[in-house]
Amino acid sequence: MIERLKRARRLAHPVPPAQRGQRRRPCVPCPPESNIGPAREAIETGRMRLTITGAILTLAFAVVGLRLVDVSMLQAAVEPRALHAPKTASLQFNRADIVDRNGILLATSLPTASLYADPRQVLDPAVAAQRLVEVFPELDRAQLETRLASKRAFVWIKRDVTPREQWNVIRLGLPGIEFRREETRVYPQGRLMSHVLGYVDVDERGIAGIERRFERELRDRSTPLALSIDMRMQHALCGELASAQREFEALGAAGLILDVRTSEVMALCSLPDFDPNEAGTAVGDARFNRVALGVYELGSAFKIFNTAMALDAGIARLDDRYDATKPLKISRFTIRDFHAKQRWLSVSEIFMYSSNIGSARLALEVGGEAQQAFLGRIGLLKPSEIELPEVGAPLVPDVWRPISTMTIGFGHGIAVSPLQMAAGVAAMVNGGTFRQPTLIKRGDGAVPAQRVISERTSKQVRQLMRLVVEKGTGSRADAPGYLVGGKTGTAEKSGSGGYQRRALLSSFVGTFPTDDPRYVVFALLDEPKGNKKTHGYATGGWVAAPIVGKVVRKIGPIAGIRPQDPDVPPIRRDLAMDRTPGARTLASF
């Protein structure tokens, strides 16, 4: 176009070629004659218009160019195109996994298919129902047919079908029958962790246990939730409890292992148990958590607290003696000894022979108020703060009468959960600091500790507990090399019309290694029946102590505890009784 204009100009004003070549800028020459004015004006107008048009076009192109740079280079950072691509880190499930302290998978969510139907698209409900029942024999045909014939747009046929079932349904090729991707909660360990983990409903909502307690956390977090449980210890404990339960035909069994330094629960087992994968099929009281929810009068094991309390308060020393010659009568109650010695007993003997009379006298001397305060400090008067929804509130006397003080001295008239018991014992042996037990993996010092007794008293309690296993009622709890210490507990269950002689709660609470305790192991059998091997006895020393002994033998190597020779001098010295100089040596040692 510009060329054409130039050509027109040249035609109008021919100039010599030499002149034209020299001119750089196209400039319209002005001829001397003025009679060509109109033509010049026209050319001027043309030039003007050309300049304006050019300027506008240049501007427009500049805008387009800038926008191009903007779109192609600058905008890319704001709106990445990879947005539409699936992100690799985006594999998210509705619920986080639960793992044990070593990272072993305990609960996870797996993708699964659920079968549903759009009845509007189902051609022949009768045929479809017939075909589906062939794949799922457990479905009710008539009911399925009415549902497929309904006018709704969505009906569930079956949730969580297996891949094989899914394939079989796809092969039927029925229109209107579709799958929806869902998730299902899977517990690979089965019934081993039932009472800890709890279970979820079909929509993955926590119903019990950790699943319920951490419902929101599990939905929010992307990393697995690590429990304090050690699967290997859990297996050792549950296995021993189960075989003891079978052997003594007990109604149930409960046990736990507690780390005394951090109060982390290493294992928690309640029998009978259930399979959390099929929680609906649990029968009877299988879903009842005997460790945290059940509260029991645990009997003589309470003498650990009673003795520690008396020693710590400075009311008694280990070799102070108390009258246990005859049963103690108070109002309408009579306190008797099971292993009656019918003589004066020292504090260590009261503990070793599990004397109820002596313990009652000790408790009375300490006094009800101090006893109540002490039991409160070690968490026995309030429900445990463990991370489970199923936590039993202890049963304590409304009015703390002297008789309550006396019976509580040997573990009657107060019902606590095995969990509270173990946590209390942990505080007695770990140097005297109490921590609330926890099911979540924590490091050292993460759980606030509270001093409840002195280091010295704690050491004395350990010596007493070792004595019970070495020479007293708990000898069957011994595990060579692991220096087990403990206390038996046998309580009659209270039923209608007082205590039942035949229905016992036999327990043993042990700790090892006694010179520097790492774990507290508790085992309880509900209504065990004595057999030939136990000479008909079903007391804690006969039925529960062996469980603890066997568990310690199994978990000692797992925990990496070096077996020690109990007869080497440093251990002897450490575990020997502190004697007040000049005190009488007792014949029974």
Partner 1 sequence: MRLTLVIVWIALVAAAVAAMFHISFEVEKLEARLHDVNRQIVREQEAIHVLQAEWSYLNRPQRLEALSQELLPNLTPVASTQFTTFARLPKRSETNGADENTSIAPAGFAPTAESIARGRLQ
Q: Which of 278, 270, 324, 308 is closest to 458 using CA atoms? A: 308
Query: What mask, x for binding partner 1 by CB under 8 A, covers residues 457 to 496?
Result: ----------------------xxxx--------------
Minimum distance of partner 1 from residue 231's CB (angstroms): 6
Minimum distance of partner 1 from residue 579's CB (angstroms): 25
Q: Are 118 and 157 in contact (CB under 8 A)?
A: no
Number of residues that bind partner 1 (CB under 8 A): 40
Residue 492: how many other CB atoms lie within 10 Å: 16
Q: Does the protein bind partner 1 through residue 90 (CB under 8 A)?
A: yes
Q: Are 263 and 228 in contact (CB under 8 A)?
A: no
Q: Tell me, letter by letter, the H, E, C secondary structure of 134-165.
A: HHCCCCCHHHHHHHHCCCCCCEEEEEEECHHH
Q: Which of 445, 468, 270 is closest to 352 using CA atoms? A: 468
Among 27, 74, 78, 91, indicate the residue that binds partner 1 (CB under 8 A). 91
Among 96, 148, 169, 192, indicate the residue that binds partner 1 (CB under 8 A). 192
Residue 308: how many other CB atoms lie within 10 Å: 27
Residue 64: how many other CB atoms lie within 10 Å: 9
Minimum distance of partner 1 from residue 434's CB (angstroms): 30
Question: What's the rounded Cα separation, in Å, for the pair 467 and 460?
Answer: 10
Buried/exposed 132-170: b ≥16 CB within 10 Å, e otherwise: bbebbeebeeeebbebbeeeeeeeebbeebeeeebebbe
Minimum distance of partner 1 from residue 20's CB (angstroms): 14
270 is annotated as an active-site residue: no
C-beta of 204 vs 349, nearer to partner 1: 204
Among 132, 231, 265, 520, indicate the residue that binds partner 1 (CB under 8 A). 231
Q: Does the protein bind partner 1 through residue 185 (CB under 8 A)?
A: no
Q: Does the protein bind partner 1 through residue 105 (CB under 8 A)?
A: yes
Q: How far separated are the first and last CA of the chain, in Å rounded?
A: 126
Q: Which of 396, 112, 436 is closest to 277 using CA atoms? A: 112
Q: Does the protein bind partner 1 through residue 101 (CB under 8 A)?
A: no
Q: Does the protein bind partner 1 through residue 85 (CB under 8 A)?
A: yes
Q: Does the protein bind partner 1 through residue 74 (CB under 8 A)?
A: no
The torsion of the CA quartet 298, 478, 431, 311, rounded to 10 degrees, works out to 60
Among 95, 96, 101, 108, indicate the residue that binds partner 1 (CB under 8 A). 108
Q: Which of 114, 300, 348, 359 is catalytic?
A: 300
C-beta of 270 vs 507, nearer to partner 1: 270
Token pair, residue 396, equals 């304590």
Q: Does the protein bind partner 1 through residue 87 (CB under 8 A)?
A: yes
Minimum distance of partner 1 from residue 475's CB (angstroms): 17
Stretch that binds partner 1, among 181-189, 410-418, 426-434, 526-534 (CB under 8 A): 181-189
Q: Does the protein bind partner 1 through residue 235 (CB under 8 A)?
A: yes
Interface residues toward partner 1, by CB under 8 A? 81-82, 84-88, 90-91, 93, 104-106, 108, 110-111, 186, 188-190, 192, 231-232, 234-235, 239, 479-482, 553-554, 556-557, 562-567
- Provide the annotated active-site residues: 300
